[in-house]
């Protein structure tokens, strides 16, 4: 008990000290056995900003996001969200209020209606009875319909999620996050499985929506054009090492060439 109390008070002080920081990495590294996936890394993401993580496959982007989501614990260092050390947080309501995530696809429950999938964002807040009731007779529909309207798929509310196109499914996933309302939104290659036009629409939607809600967005993304157009800041990652960390407007083509080209040479050796 005593230990838990002291942990709580220390996290409260750090919350006051880092009010403007949504995500903070302090000497964070990740190793699986002998393989270093992420070299020791310090990183701070300001609240309300949009950060794109780019880099070739296997650069450690997904690991970076999974660390931020509290899905894995770092080998060394501390991950903090809004001043809370993630190692002390188990999956549940509290973590869901801090951080939400969108994956590449296959994230929705295909047999349930779009409406149910969106309301699943409320499961952390609902009692068991309310969840059970909602399965038959959805509660808080207003909230879900507002979110669906915001992402432009209100007409699909009663369709089964599995029958939607990839782009529509990602919109529904965004609507679910709108209902969940986490402080930090993470997106792991959210548009990788969409065609270029759809990818642009969904990226724009994701950045707009998080901006409106004052949320922080960290997204790994393949397309440099999208990263430059819709994000505030770009972090370039290669072989688990941050190559650059710059405002999006300042990024030059030569930097990107380097990030990808050297990787290409290496794989030939």
Partner 1 sequence: MRSNPPASRGRPRAIESRRAITLILIGAFALSLLGVDWSEGVFRPRGLIAIGETLGALFRPDLSPELLRKAAAAAWQTLVYAVAGLTVALLIGVPLGVIASGAIARSRLGAVTQIGAARAVLAFFRAIHELVWALLFVAAIGLSPMAAVLALGIPYGGILGRIYSELLQDVPQAPLDALRRSGASEWRVFLFGRLPMALPDMVSYTFYRLECGIRSAAVLGWVGLGGLGFQVQIALEDLAYSRVWTFLWVLVGMVVLVDLWSSQVRRRLAP
In this structure, what are the phi and psi dihedrals at residue 119, rounded to the nearest 5 degrees?
A: -65, -20
Contact segment (CB under 8 A) with partner 1 among 8-16, 73-81, 100-108, 208-216 equals 100-108
| Three-class secondary structure of residue 21 per DSSP | strand
Nearest in space to 179 (alpha carbons), one of 232, 215, 204: 215
* Distances in whole angstroms, Cα of residue 242 to Cα of each of 39, 129, 141, 234, 257: 8, 47, 43, 11, 15
- Please report whether residue 128 would count as binding partner 1 according to CB under 8 A: yes
- Please report whether residue 8 would count as binding partner 1 according to CB under 8 A: no
Choice from 124, 139, 213, 260 touching partner 1 (CB under 8 A)? 124
217, β-bridge pairs: 50, 185
- Please report whether residue 108 would count as binding partner 1 according to CB under 8 A: yes
- Please report whether residue 176 would count as binding partner 1 according to CB under 8 A: yes
Name the minimum Å distance from CB 96 to partner 1.
Answer: 3
- Please report whether residue 162 would count as binding partner 1 according to CB under 8 A: yes
Contact segment (CB under 8 A) with partner 1 among 2-10, 120-128, 199-207, 231-239 equals 120-128
- Please report whether residue 151 would count as binding partner 1 according to CB under 8 A: no
- Please report whether residue 110 would count as binding partner 1 according to CB under 8 A: yes
Contact segment (CB under 8 A) with partner 1 among 44-52, 77-85, 113-121, 205-213 equals 113-121
Long-range contacts of 28-36 (CB under 8 A, 24+ apart): 28/67, 28/74, 28/76, 28/77, 28/78, 28/79, 29/74, 29/75, 29/76, 29/77, 30/60, 30/63, 30/67, 30/72, 30/74, 30/75, 30/240, 31/75, 36/240
Binding site for partner 1 (CB under 8 A): 58, 69, 71, 91-97, 99-101, 103, 106-112, 116, 120-126, 128, 131-132, 135, 160, 162-163, 173, 176, 180
């Amino acid at each position: 008990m005593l230990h838990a109390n002291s942990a709580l008070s220390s996290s409260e002080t750090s919350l006051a000290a880092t009010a403007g920081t949504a995500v903070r990495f302090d000497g964070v590294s990740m190793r699986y056995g002998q393989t270093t996936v992420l070299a020791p890394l310090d990183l701070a993401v300001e609240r309300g900003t949009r950060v794109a993580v780019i880099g070739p496959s296997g650069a450690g982007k997904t690991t970076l996001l999974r660390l931020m989501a509290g899905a894995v614990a770092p080998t060394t260092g501390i991950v903090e969200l809004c001043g809370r050390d993630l190692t002390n947080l188990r999956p549940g309501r509290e973590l869901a209020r801090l951080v939400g995530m969108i994956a590449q696809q296959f994230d929705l429950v295909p047999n349930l209606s779009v409406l149910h999938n969106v309301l699943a964002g409320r499961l952390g807040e609902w009692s068991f009875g309310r969840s059970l009731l909602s399965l038959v007779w959805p509660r808080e529909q207003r909230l879900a319909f507002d979110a669906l309207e915001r992402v432009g798929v209100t007409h699909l509310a009663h369709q089964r999620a599995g029958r939607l196109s990839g782009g529509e499914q990602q919109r529904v996933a965004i609507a679910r996050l709108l209902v969940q309302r986490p402080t930090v939104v993470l997106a792991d290659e959210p548009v990788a499985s969409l065609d270029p036009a759809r990818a642009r629409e969904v990226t724009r939607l994701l950045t707009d929506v998080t901006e409106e809600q004052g949320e922080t967005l960290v997204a790994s993304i393949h397309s440099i054009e999208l990263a430059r157009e819709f994000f505030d800041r770009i972090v370039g990652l290669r072989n688990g090492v941050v190559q650059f960390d710059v405002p999006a407007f300042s990024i030059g083509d030569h930097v990107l060439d380097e990030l990808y080209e050297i990787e290409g040479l290496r794989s030939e050796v």
